[in-house]
Structure 1
């Protein structure tokens, strides 16, 4: 015998339904946000590619945050003295791996100085380089804030770095990153959120249907 509609409504889990629908709405909103971020990232990559096509020099942005209009542009700095070396893994322009020699350079009596990638070495021993004028490409520095730091508001603005066009003596020229290297996974993230929302809704509907049939 079929239950009256009033009895069915009485058995309907109202609170659980509200919670699930709210969660589904949040997941859909996150998916839409990722689609918006995808369009923004595509525009940013296009800007970087235009920057790389420019041959004129721009003033090196010594203070962070670095505007996107400066990234992947050509610039020149005067390194008065390397105050610290930060060796990191990297590749040269032929694809051979090695140790990227990054110098934190003093440019005056005060100020944060500049980061300069002077080339690829075969070991961790810094080159015998005392500084000088370096021309190259402005790229994001190696120490970028994490996603957690950004979300919690604790992110420190990242410094830029200049990748030298010509390596210092004894090193190989470092590979120069490009705008195409900037990750753009927002479409995949959006699809994931939409799938999560659909799955949550389907699972909940099946669970409620099973409950009402008892």
Structure 2
């Protein structure tokens, strides 16, 4: 190595300074995503192991409810149903159906009854028929269907069922003649009155995120190696430059 000297040039240096932080940040982001998924899986397993919550009797606060198993007695309010828009399942666009289950005169819980494909025309809405007879509903409590960016209002529609672009409990409360609890009850997959339900299913787990992190860090290491090789000069050659 004594025959070589390191002479960094402008363009490779600028390119490395621009790309290296990006590659490292992408790797760290994937590690963070892996940690988030592991935490969510652990919280879900812990919640499922705890006692069943009764939402008719002193329902818990949101931070104590997520991932817990729960039951509720009431009647579905079929006149006021929400469709969470832009929900993708196996590449197909559809809706997550939220139907209020009235617990008493002043409260309800939004029951997430599953996914439905969207009709071919935007001005058409799926049929959401469900009986309003008294029933016992069991499921898992969750924050609600995930969405992208919260841009604009949750909904600008007036009719029912009503499409919403994201979960907004203040909007739900303002739209209904009663209050809703600050979480949804994901209907058990084996229960009636539901649609496609694959609660807790993810496209891939934390291991895939770690694999992606290794790829980004490997690219960062390769970038540094290339930068070093490009800027190495033989001492004789460097003296004649």
Kindly state the Cα deviation for residue 51 of structure 1 after the two structures are TM-superposed.
1.2
For residue 81 of structure 2, the aligned residue among 65, 79, 84 is 84
Equivalent position of 2:209 in the other structure: 186
Mapped to 2, the partners of 1:120 and 1:37 lie a distance apart of: 25
Equivalent position of 2:228 in the other structure: 205
For residue 46 of structure 1, the aligned residue among 28, 42, 60 is 42
Equivalent position of 1:116 in the other structure: 111
Equivalent position of 2:137 in the other structure: 135
Alignment: residue pair count: 191
Check conservation: 2:114, 2:196, Cα contact below 8 A: yes
Check conservation: 1:45, 1:182, Cα contact below 8 A: no
Alignment of 1:1-214 (within 5 A): 9=7, 12-14=8-10, 16-17=12-13, 20-21=16-17, 23-59=19-55, 66-67=62-63, 69-76=65-72, 78-79=74-75, 81-82=77-78, 83-84=80-81, 86=83, 102-105=97-100, 107=102, 114-118=109-113, 124-130=126-132, 132-140=134-142, 143-146=145-148, 160-165=183-188, 167-168=191-192, 171=193, 175=197, 177-178=199-200, 183-184=205-206, 185-209=208-232
Check conservation: 1:46, 1:179, Cα contact below 8 A: no
Mapped to 2, the partners of 1:200 and 1:129 lie a distance apart of: 62
Gaps of 5+ in 1: 91-98
Deviations 1:9-44 (A, max 9, x none): 4xx325742551463244324423533442343132
SS at match of 2:186: strand
Q: Report the TM-score, using the length of structure 2 for normalisation.
A: 0.53
Which one has more relative contact order, counting CA pairs under 8 Å at least 6 apart? 2
Gaps of 5+ in 2: 89-93, 117-125, 152-165, 170-181
Mapped to 1, the partners of 2:230 and 2:63 lie a distance apart of: 51
Kindly state the Cα deviation for residue 48 of structure 1 after the two structures are TM-superposed.
0.5
Mapped to 2, the partners of 1:56 and 1:109 lie a distance apart of: 23
RMSD: 5.0
